[in-house]
Each structure stands twice: as C-alpha cells, then as structure tokens.
Structure 1
Amino acid sequence: MGRSQELSEFTRGTMIGCHLCNKSIHEISWLLNFPRSTVSGIITKWKQLGTIATQPRSERGQRMLKCTVCRSC
C-alpha cells in the first residue's frame, strides 16, 4: 500500500491545539475525522521533536539507520 499525502501544517497545528486544550486522542480523532493512530503519531512527534514541521525523508532514513547501528537511542 502506498503512502497517502502528508497532512498540512494547519491540520497538524489543529491537532496540537486540541491536545493543548486537554482533548483526548479519541476526541481529536472524532472532531477532525482522522484515525487515532494518525493523531497519536502527530502528538508523539511534536512531543519528541518540539515542532510540527515535516522532515525530509532522507533525514528520517539516516536517523533510523543511525539508531539501528549504534542502538544507543
């Protein structure tokens, strides 16, 4: 199965805004009509990276390769 289109920065920001207003992942999912796994993934990445901007795919692959090789993450 191929990847779908990336979410817009506005949509990701809306999810984070709802999260900051103490909405649950289930509520955000229902309000914005996205799967819970998508909402959860956006919130988790925001907590880890501190940004909602997408990273280039090449950097994602390099980071995963580094974690696999060094196993210190």
Structure 2
Amino acid sequence: MQTASTNICERMGRSQELSEFKCGTVIGCHLCNKSIHEISLLLDIPRSTVSGIITKWKQLGTTAAQSQIGRPRK
C-alpha cells in the first residue's frame, strides 16, 4: 500500500526524460501520419512533449538527449 507522501512526491517536480524507445515510437507514429493528439492519447504522453519531440527530430534529425552545459539543476 502506498503512503500519501509517496503519491505527492510522484506528482511534484519535473519528470525524467523519455526513453529512446518511447521517442522512437513517437517518431514512428508521426511517420505513419498520426496526429499529435492521437499520438498523445495512444502513448499517454502530454501533447506538448509529443510536439517537442517531433520538432526536435525535424531540426536535429535525432531524438537523443543533447549534452548539457554546466551543472544540472538540483
């Protein structure tokens, strides 16, 4: 059984980056002419994240995470 503090911690803060597989799945759906809304519902990912992945893929040609400059935020 989960405690109330565990549920609060899961909802707060930024989430982790999507896996390479999930980003590839988004791009695959996009290439199959699925809309952003359909991809969002299918994979249970926010629409803004889906559009960001597609935009990044169109500009850079890859879905891999870019190297960070400086120390990551705590």
Q: Same fold (TM over 0.5)?
A: yes
Q: 2:44 aligns with which of 20, 26, 33?
A: 33
Per-residue CA distance 1:12-62 (angstroms, 9 max, x = gap): 000000000000000000000011000000000000000011101218xxx
Match of residue 6 from structure 1:
17
Q: In the comparison of the two structures, how many residue pairs are matched? A: 59
Q: TM-score, normalised by structure 1?
A: 0.75
Q: Give, in whole Å, the separation in 2 of the partners of 1:14 and 1:39.
A: 10
Question: For the pair shown, which has the larger CA radius of gyration, 1 or 2?
Answer: 2
2:69 aligned with 1:58: yes
Structure 1 residue ranges (4+ consecutive) displaced by more than 3 angstroms after TM superposition: none
> Structure 2 length as normaliser, TM-score?
0.74
Aligned partner of 2:60 among 40, 44, 49: 49
Question: What amino acid does structure 2 have at the position aligned with 1:23?
Answer: K
Query: Which structure 2 residue ranges, 5 or more long, are not aligned?
Result: 1-11
More helix per residue: 1 or 2?
1
